[in-house]
Amino acid sequence: MAARRIELMLCTGTGCVAGGAFRIKKVLEEEIARHGLQSEISIVPTGCNGFCGQGPLLVVMPEKIFYGWLKTEDIPFLVQEHFLKGRPVKKLMFTPPERKEPIPLLSDIPFFKKQMLIVLRNKGIIDPEKIDDYIARDGYAALEKVLTSMTPEEVIEEIIKSGLRGRGGAGFPTGIKWKVCRNEPKTPKYVICNCDEGDPGAYMDRSVLESDPHSVIEGQTIAAYAIGASHGYIYVRTEYPLAIKRMQKAIEQAREYGLLGENILGTGFSFDLEIREGSGAFVCGEETSLIHSIEGKSPEPRQRPPFPAQVGIWGCPTVINNVETLATVPVIINRGAEWFSKIGTETSKGTKIFSLVGKINNTGLIEVPMGITLREIIYEIGGGIPGNRKFKAVQTGGPSGGCIPASLIDLPIDYESLTQAGSMMGSGGMIVMDEDTCMVDVAKFFIQFTNDESCGKCTTCRDGSAALLEVLTRITDGEGQEGDIEFLEELAWAIKDASMCGLGTTLPNPVLTTIRYFREEYEAHIREKRCPAKVCKNLIAYWIDPQLCQACLICKRECPAEAIYGEKHIVHVIDQSKCTKCGTCLEVCPPRFGAVKKLSGEPVPPVERGMKVERKKKTATPLQEQSSA
Amino acid sequence: MAKLTLDELRRRREQARKSIYLRDGEFRGKVIVHMGTCGIAAGARAIVATFLEELEKSGRTDILVTTSGCAGLCSKEPMATVEMLDSPPVKYVLLTPEKVRRIFAEHILGGVAVAEYALGIGSERAG
């Protein structure tokens, strides 16, 4: 390839693509051609960069200048100023809310600074559709090493020594799982990659598949060598079309290079892979359901033991590992178990990817060493809560996890401490909530989700989640009764005790943790019919303060329910019987008036219709005083 | 494509490394071509192209060619600054493709600045 002076690493992860990355690419190509720069500059489409809140985005190599929130109309200026004339464009750089000056370099942006990339080692650096890019970054060197210089037992020993634990949620030691499977006498054996990522707000696995599919193929091939498998499946949900497309392409390229298929690299070892698409049932992420789904059966879990490592797909020993787990394996082989085991905490080694979403300034995908505190994630990487609101809680582990309150902000993130706090690592979703979030409502949201997704096999999960939902709905509707909290707790424990699979045994976690840490919010709903965060519609009212209303008519005009009475010079009044509590009036009332208030747990003060507006008197400036004098 | 053997995979890796050096490399030297309106009018685009051609021919993957704005000495354009590791930067003026080829061979590859094309050694002080 000809020598160039600039490479534009354009993020084409799902988020940026939705934001118009391919349209940006087209304009970039046109502008680069218009200036005749094609031979000097190339565009490299990459997987997810991670800083999704800034997308569509690109990084200019070799300087690593970061540009975000790109619009097609910015491109002609950017190409002319920076790529032709060499003057980086400040207005397209990232400026944190608290600063005035932008930060030009990716490596100086706090969001990236605290991260440690092992699984995402190639993100934003390689084109995921080019196998040579992966190979250039030590790709398939680990496979080379195990096939030429390690026995399967040595590979398993190395993974056990590294302390790697499953990244899909439960945290089972990966090497032990491999060993159990290897020791099973029955053949053939299988290895499955679990990419049935279903937690709301979580997209770690999708991003790995989209940005570095070969790392998963390499990890899975090493796993196959270790356990003695010759066939594998990658189970991806069908809602991830881009991930599936890139993975399919990667598999074909690997086959073409002889890195999958018969007699890999001439070593005599054979292994091949195929993709199976799941249709988005949450329960399919549970390993026995996943197996049933691939077998063409109804995706219901079954009792364990026997574990899939003993009796798995088609009745044969099967290792099922998560995407992230498999993508970590090549790095452990290349750099050694000792190096890996020095990262993280006593019981949780290495790094973990989290998707940081919700009420947070820097939304995105991050990879951090285990043991990092919530405070570092939320305030340093995440840049804090928007609008200087107060941090209230974070939901980790999706619907199976729990809410961790602000008081535990210095909690180090590892498998054990999260479990102790009543939550779990889960697959790594992290939903940040601020003071405007109602914790009862959050619990209701997650129970609604798990109730929908329960496969129905166990009564406790199927009917128990419905009963939880019924009570939670009653409480948020303002019809909670004494004893509801105790009932929720008792039922939650019963569901945990008597359900079979991970879905049922963890679904009560959001209820239990919100009661544990925010019991007073439940009590306020039940006893005072008050929603402290002012979220639950039945417990709030909108009211216009007659002292502050300036009769500007904006809210009256915007109210979709026509519930506002008022005229020019006459104080506006909301008709509570017509109000649908959509909140439009609060949003549109000019901040300098701030007349619309949200009330909860108190009677709506009566306001007489037809009251004249009390005009705010303008304070005279000294100059006016002088001129009038 | 035929399936790779171990040796072929290793060779392919070496080759592939070269093609991504802008993203992943370490650099010993950098050429900055000044591309203000004055520079472009005086022919700076051809200077960039010649540096890139020479770089391509040399096969080196530790040299960067970049651009920056006007250097402030518009009458001496096209200009370029050559920065090699462990030696002070040199500003070259009134460049032509021929001069660039000599600078590339003698300064960048050979380590000896071409004094007769140089404006001076060193950069302005940042104030």
Q: What is the pLDDT of residues A227-256, one digit of tens each?
A: 999 999 999 999 999 999 999 999 999 999
Contacts of A142 in chain B (CB under 8 A): none
Q: What is the pLDDT of residues A92-147, one digit of tens each?
A: 999 998 888 999 999 899 999 999 999 999 999 999 999 999 999 999 999 999 99
Sequence-distant (6+) residues with CB within 8 A of A32 are: A38, A41, A43, A79, A83
Average pLDDT, chain A: 93
Contacts of B34 in chain A (CB under 8 A): 86
Asked if A148's CB is within 8 angstroms of B3's CB, the reply is: no
CATH code of the domain in which B60 resides: 3.40.30.10
Q: Name the band, by pLDDT with cuts 50, 70 and 90, for residue A617.
A: low
Transcribe A380-422 into DSSP letters. Answer: IIS---GGGPPEEEEEESGGGSEEEEGGGTT-B-SHHHHHHTT
CB contact under 8 A, B9 and A40: no
- Measured CA to CA, the distance from residue A139 to residue A89 in angstroms comes to 35
Per-domain residue ranges of chain A:
6-109, 131-341, 351-434, 439-527, 536-629
Residues A478, A536 contacting (CB under 8 angstroms): yes
Q: Is residue B126 part of a domain?
A: no
What's the rounded Cα separation, in Å, for the pair A136 and B14? 7
Compute the average pLDDT of residues A554-579.
Answer: 94
Q: Does the residue B114 lie in any domain? A: yes
A135: nearest CA partner in chain B: B13
What pLDDT shows up at residue A628? 45
| Beta-carbon contacts below 8 Å between A and B | 109
d(CA A364, CA A358): 10
Nearest-CA distance A489 → chain B (Å): 54
User: What is the maximum alpha-carbon separation in chain A?
Assistant: 104
pLDDT band at A616 (very low <50, low <70, confident <90, very high): low
Please tell me the distance from the alpha carbon of residue A497 to that of residue A515, in angstroms, as a whole number.
18
pLDDT at A58 over 60: yes
Rounded Cα–Cα distance for residues A533 and A543 (Å): 16
Q: A265 and B64 in contact by Cβ < 8 A?
A: no
Q: In terms of Cα–Cα distance, which of A415, A324, A399 is closest to A123?
A: A324
Closest-CA distance, B116 to chain A, in angstroms, reads 27
Tell me if residue A489 falls in helix, strand or coil: helix
Chain B residues within 8 A of A135 when measuring between CB atoms: 9, 12-13, 16
Indicate whether B92 belongs to any domain.
yes
Q: Tell me, yes or no, whether B3 lies in a domain.
A: no
Q: Which of A46, A211, A257 to mutate to test the interface with B (most CBs of B within 10 A)?
A: A257
Q: How do residues A398-425 score in pLDDT, each as one tens digit?
A: 888 899 999 999 999 999 999 898 888 8
Query: In this structure, is residue B6 part of a structural domain?
Result: no
What CATH number matches the domain at A351-434, 2.40.128.20, 3.40.630.30, 3.10.20.600, 3.30.2350.10? 3.10.20.600
Q: What's residue A1's pLDDT?
A: 52
Report the pLDDT value the prediction gives residue B37, as an integer from 0 to 100.
Answer: 87
Residues with Cβ within 8 Å of residue A305, at least 6 apart in sequence = none
* Average pLDDT over every residue of B39-54: 93
What's the whole-number average pLDDT of chain B? 88
> Which class is A536-629 in CATH?
alpha beta
Cβ of B19 and A63 within 8 Å? no
Summarize the confidence of residues A604-611 as an average pLDDT. Answer: 88
Res. A627 pLDDT band, cuts 50 70 90: very low
Helix segments in A86-130, DSSP class H? 110-113
In chain B, which among 3-42 make CB contacts under 8 A with chain A? 3-6, 9-10, 12-13, 15-17, 19-20, 22-25, 27, 32-37, 40
Residues in chain A whose beta carbon is closer than 8 A to a beta carbon of chain B?
1-7, 9, 36, 39-40, 44, 61-63, 84-87, 125-126, 132-133, 135-141, 144, 148, 256-259, 261, 263, 265-267
Mean pLDDT of A362-377: 95
Instruction: Give pLDDT, residue A206.
Output: 94
Residue B78 vs residues A359, A519, B36: alpha-carbon distances, Å: 51, 73, 9
Domain count, chain B: 1
Note whether residue B14 is domain-resident. Answer: no
DSSP state of A478: T
Select the CATH number that applies to the domain covering A6-109 from these four: 3.40.50.2300, 3.30.200.20, 1.10.357.10, 3.40.30.10: 3.40.30.10
pLDDT of residue A426: 82
Residue A626 scores a pLDDT above 80: no
Tell me the per-residue pLDDT of A294-330, one tens digit each, with 9 for 90 and over: 999 998 999 999 999 999 999 999 999 999 999 999 9
pLDDT band, residue B126 (cuts 50/70/90): low
How far is the C-alpha of B2 from the C-alpha of A257, rounded, in Å?
Answer: 7
Residue with tokens 């490399």: B25
Q: Which pLDDT score, from 0 to 100, does residue A398 have?
A: 86
ipTM of the complex: 0.89
A169-219 pLDDT, tens digit each: 789 999 999 999 999 999 999 999 999 998 888 899 999 999 999 999 999
pLDDT at A621 over 80: no
Cβ-based neighbour number of residue A626 at 10 Å: 9
Distance separating the N- and C-terminal Cα atoms of chain A: 80
Residue B74, classified by CB atoms within 10 Å of its CB into exposed (0-12), middle (13-18) or buried (19+), is middle
Answer yes or no: are the C-beta atoms of A140 and A132 closer than 8 Å: no
- CATH of the structural domain A439-527, one choice from 3.40.50.10890, 2.40.110.10, 1.20.1440.230, 3.30.300.30: 1.20.1440.230
In chain B, residues with a C-beta closer than 8 Å to the C-beta of A266 are: 3, 5-6
Query: Domain containing B57: what range?
Result: 26-121
Beta strand pairing call for A570-574 and A596-600: unpaired
Nearest-Cα residue of chain B relative to residue A35: B45
* pLDDT (tens digit per residue) in B6-23: 999 999 999 999 889 888
Output the pLDDT for position A603.
92
Structure tokens at A238: 């069908």
Q: Which CATH number fits domain A131-341: 3.40.50.11540, 3.30.230.70, 3.40.190.10, 3.40.50.2300?
A: 3.40.50.11540
Task: Output the six-digit token pair for B29.
Answer: 């030297």
User: What pLDDT sits at residue A468?
Assistant: 97
